[in-house]
Amino acid sequence: MNSVYMKIIGCMQVGGNCSWILDSSLTNMSEIVDEIILVGGCVSDDSKKIIARCNKVVETNFYPDNQSRIEWNDMNSLLRMAKNHDADWILFMDADETFEPRFKTTIRDYINNPDVGMYKFRRYWLWNTAEQYRVDRPEKFSSLAYNSYLVRSTPALHFPNPAGTLWKRLIKHLQGKEKLRPYFGREPITGIAGNTIESDIVLLHHAALNWNQFVKNQMWYGMMLAKRQPNSSESDLSNQLYSILDESTLELKPINKDWL
């Protein structure tokens, strides 16, 4: 008896200036999934041209440039669109990442396991050049990817508000700790049906290869964090954001060529 074909839909946020890597990441995703869905604000004209050339993209949700980005809303929007397109499995991936080629030939083996509800991937940060990655501070630069994973589609899948329930948000707002409406951030997805497995598939993170854009992104995160947490000290905020740029412990290792 033939097995039932399961549709895999790729979901990606493409807001801001990601055109420098988007052609590579979209091509990479299109080789793995059946269809692609995108969401984002301030999507550049160059990014839109790249997206128009990708025949796997079946739906987009690009909101006006003057609309604030609320990441957990974006993720739930991707979920809704994926479910509307009858996804059996959903692959979440950031626009500045690529999977090793092996994944496109093995993903069907992964989704055919009836006991698994989610697969996580080890993410390595490329640094200075595309031929090397950081091996120092593994808790940051070679950890399991937080935003990118393969999950079985179920009606219960949902991204909760990272600020917590309404009453918790009201208390934090009245105490002056956080704004009532968070500007960015997301909590882990909920509603997974099945076991969570750590895969040996490698995910490469390219963000630091465009250093100017990388630094600009950290500045943006800092401004958003300062708005969300007005009582946080300037020192705490600057240290938190500088930690990702800090090269005082820098140690690099050549990548495995099979990852490209």
Q: Which residue has the higher pLDDT, 238 or 211?
A: 211
Least confident of 87-91, 126-130, 209-213, 239-243: 239-243
Least confident of 34-48, 170-184, 191-205: 170-184
CA dist., res. 67 & res. 17, Å (int): 16
Q: Stretch 227-236: mean pLDDT, rounded?
A: 78
In a domain, 121, yes or no: yes
Structural domain of 58:
8-259
pLDDT at 204 over 60: yes
In a domain, 15, yes or no: yes
Q: Work out the pLDDT band at 95, boundaries 50, 70, 90.
A: very high
In a domain, 2, yes or no: no
In a domain, 3, yes or no: no
- Hey, what are 161's tokens? 């508000």
Least confident of 91-100, 113-122, 170-179: 170-179
Task: Supply angle C-alpha 152, 181, 208, rounded to 5.
Answer: 60
Which residue, 47, 54, 63, is CA-closest to 14? 47
pLDDT on residue 18: 92
Phi, psi of 43 (to 5 degrees): -70, 125
In a domain, 1, yes or no: no
pLDDT at 226 over 70: yes
- Hey, what are 16's tokens? 């801001």
pLDDT at 174 over 70: no
pLDDT on residue 106: 96
Number of domains in the chain: 1
pLDDT in tens, 108-120: 999 999 999 999 9
Q: Work out the pLDDT band at 2, boundaries 50, 70, 90.
A: very low
Residue 245 burial (CB count, 10 A): 11
Q: Stretch 94-105: mean pLDDT, rounded?
A: 97
CATH label of the domain that carries residue 241: 3.90.550
The span from the first CA to the last CA of the chain, in angstroms, equals 37
